[in-house]
């Protein structure tokens, strides 16, 4: 059987989050967050600015140390709590099994290095050494994110915002991660570029059997991209479920307000 | 294939004085493989609500909705996702797609998610689009700019591209001309013949008479006025 289909049918979660909390002094960043993410699933996290969704994502990805709770990731050696893991082991995960797509491509790219170099650098970080193979793979990935081969030697600073974001995605996915964290991946892009990026992400998730956690405030983006949805307010998850169920039949007061506030085009 | 037992539903509108509106109580019905059941009842009696509860985008308050061996009323999101992938198809009245994706890929997508190869999936999509009289020059364009009848046929193609054992059809012939209506009715009859269990809403009375083995008036499940 196709490994991707198999991955979707496995019953072991890829990520299990238990009672995760992060405080900024007396203020709540995020509190008592619990969920399981299974292989091949895309989880959307929505909420207004300050709701704790970015704090949560940073804690999950190991960029911030939570004050309480567990983030158990199914590593190749079995389930491990990444909060308790040593810094070196966590960094290794970040280079291999995980990827992080920043809202601003400048935070995820090296602006002084060519497009091909940006993609190749990730490969070299996991041990690739053969220059020809690295370059071929970089060109292949630039093609997959619809960046022409003749732009491989250009620096990202010469690219449009949409191209930079696609380059960041190529840089992140070239090493075949199993879990991708995305912070507002389509934020700051105009709508036609957004649609193109959404289509690209959907195809990549399907073809690579990726799991993803996407933080956004855009309900249209999660409807098209996420299988499941978590709604956050004041640091707490107030509602979670199947994406179209949460959007079409919201149960919590805040979700009802959020859904009914979207302007119809 | 689909068995609904003692199903109820209410909406709580938190931002409108926390009004609680009971919309369904004591709903029971069953549909076997190869059978088509028509939902009837006046507008607002809950036909679409019942359909959405079976699809899983409306939560049930109590009762059970068995589709195959999954109880949609209690299933975890990932069980419903798996159910929708291979077992339960839905032709809604609205086409919701990522802008800019070509029509042929929109129709092929359910097969790609099931792991069917890209060429085979597109081949099947093209055959259905041709059968539904969508001009070939439109296949490479996004359906977002299509006419209502064309969008509806793209939706139908998506719902019939995989032989789902259970199908939900929400007014599948509503905005179609006579020729295309006939194509769609033939597709539904073929789905019945291969053993699909179908629940449909058909305002088209002739279509209803031709396709439905039984009718269920959902008004009997509708509680009185809002409390």
pLDDT tens for each residue of B124-144: 999 999 999 999 999 999 999
Residues A221, B119: Cα–Cα separation, whole Å: 28
Nearest to A38 among B15, B78, B115 (CB): B78
For residue B97, give Cα distances in angstroms to A199, B155, B204.
10, 10, 27
> Which of B98, B112, B115 has the CB atom closest to A199's CB atom?
B98
DSSP string, B31-63: E-TT-EEEEE-STTSSHHHHHHHHHTSS--SEE
Tokens of A178: 């199993």
- B58, B80, B114 ranked by CB distance to A249: nearest: B58
Buried b (16+ CB within 10 A) or exposed e, A165-181: bbbbbbbbbbbebbbbb
End-to-end Cα separation, chain B, in angstroms: 35
Confidence at residue A205, expressed as pLDDT on a 0 to 100 scale: 85
Strands B70-71 and B19-31: unpaired
| Torsions phi, psi for A261 (to 5 deg) | -90, -5
Residues of A with CB under 8 A from a CB of B: 2, 4-5, 8-9, 38, 41, 191-192, 195-196, 198-199, 202, 206, 223-224, 227-228, 241-242, 244-245, 247-249, 251-253, 256-257, 260
Is the torsion defined by CA of A234, A238, A243, A246 positive or negative? negative
Residues paired with residue A239 on neighbouring β-strands, in sequence order: A231
The tokens for A140 are 């292949």
Query: Using CA of residue A21, residue A26, residue A29, residue A32, what is the dihedral sign?
Result: positive
Residues of chain A contacting residue B99, judged by C-beta atoms under 8 Å apart: 191-192, 195
Please report the number of interchain residue pairs, chain A to chain B, with beta-carbon separation below 8 angstroms: 66
Each residue of A58-115: pLDDT tens digit? 999 999 999 999 999 999 889 999 999 999 999 999 989 999 999 999 999 999 999 9
Query: Is the CB of A242 less than 8 angstroms away from the CB of B115?
Result: no
CA separation for the pair B73, B54 (Å, rounded): 8
* Other beta carbons less than 10 A from residue A130's beta carbon: 10
Residues facing A236 on adjacent strands: A233
A11 Cα to chain B: minimum distance (Å): 10
* Cα→Cα distances A53→A214, A218, A256, B64, B80, Å: 10, 13, 18, 34, 25
0.80 exceeded by pTM: yes
Print pLDDT tens along chain B (227 aa).
999 999 999 999 988 888 998 999 999 999 999 999 999 998 888 999 999 999 999 999 999 999 999 999 999 999 999 999 999 999 998 888 888 899 999 999 999 999 999 999 999 999 999 999 999 999 999 999 999 899 999 999 999 999 999 999 999 998 899 999 999 999 999 999 999 999 999 999 999 999 999 999 999 998 874 33
Helix and strand counts by DSSP (H, E) for chain A: 11, 10
Q: In chain B, what residues touch A12 (CB-CB under 8 Å)? A: none
**Minimal Cβ distance to B15: which of A199, A248, A257:** A257
Distance CA B111, CA B90 (A): 14
- How far B102 CA sits from the closest chain A CA (Å)? 10
């Amino acid at each position: 059987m196709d490994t991707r289909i198999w991955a979707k049918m496995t019953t072991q979660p890829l990520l299990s989050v238990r009672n995760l909390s992060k405080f900024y002094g007396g203020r709540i960043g995020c509190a008592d967050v619990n969920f399981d993410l299974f292989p091949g699933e895309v989880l959307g996290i929505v909420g207004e600015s300050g709701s704790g969704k970015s704090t949560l994502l940073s804690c999950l990805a190991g960029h911030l140390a939570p004050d309480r709770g567990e983030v158990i990731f199914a590593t190749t050696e079995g389930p491990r709590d990444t909060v308790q893991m040593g810094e070196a082991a966590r960094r290794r995960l970040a280079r291999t099994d995980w990827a992080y797509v920043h809202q601003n491509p400048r935070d995820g790219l090296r602006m002084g290095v060519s497009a091909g170099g940006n993609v190749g650098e990730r490969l070299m970080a996991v041990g690739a050494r053969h220059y020809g193979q690295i370059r071929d793979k970089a060109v292949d990935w630039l093609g997959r994110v619809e960046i022409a081969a003749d732009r491989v030697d250009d620096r990202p600073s010469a690219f449009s915002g949409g191209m930079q974001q696609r380059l960041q995605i190529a840089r992140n996915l070239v090493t075949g991660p199993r879990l991708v964290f995305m912070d507002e991946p389509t934020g700051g892009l105009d709508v036609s570029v957004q649609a193109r990026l959404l289509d690209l992400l959907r195809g990549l998730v399907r073809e690579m059997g990726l799991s993803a956690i996407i933080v956004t405030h855009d309900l249209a983006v999660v409807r098209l991209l996420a299988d499941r949805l978590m709604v956050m307010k004041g640091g707490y998850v107030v509602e979670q479920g199947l994406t179209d169920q949460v959007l079409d039949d919201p149960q919590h007061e805040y979700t009802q307000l959020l859904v009914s506030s979207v302007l119809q085009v | 294939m689909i068995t609904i037992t003692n199903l109820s539903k209410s909406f709580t509108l938190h931002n409108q004085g926390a009004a609680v509106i009971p919309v369904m109580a004591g709903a029971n019905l069953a549909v076997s493989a190869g059978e088509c059941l028509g939902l009837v009842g006046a507008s607002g009696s809950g036909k679409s609500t019942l359909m959405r509860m079976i699809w899983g985008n409306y939560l049930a308050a109590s009762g059970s909705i068995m589709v195959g061996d999954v109880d949609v009323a209690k299933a975890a999101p990932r069980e419903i996702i798996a159910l929708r992938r291979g077992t339960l198809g839905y032709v809604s009245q609205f086409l919701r797609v990522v802008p800019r994706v070509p029509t042929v890929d929109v129709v092929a997508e359910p097969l790609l998610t099931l792991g069917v190869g890209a060429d085979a999936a597109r081949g099947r999509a093209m055959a259905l689009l041709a059968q539904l009289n969508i001009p070939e020059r439109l296949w490479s364009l996004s359906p977002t700019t299509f006419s209502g009848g064309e969008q509806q046929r793209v939706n139908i193609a998506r719902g019939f591209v995989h032989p789902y054992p259970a199908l939900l059809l929400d007014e599948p012939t509503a905005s179609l001309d006579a020729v295309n209506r006939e194509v769609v009715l033939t597709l539904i009859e073929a789905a019945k013949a291969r053993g699909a269990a179908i629940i449909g809403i058909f305002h088209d009375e002739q279509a209803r008479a031709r396709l439905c083995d039984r009718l269920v008036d959902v008004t009997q499940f509708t509680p009185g006025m809002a409390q």
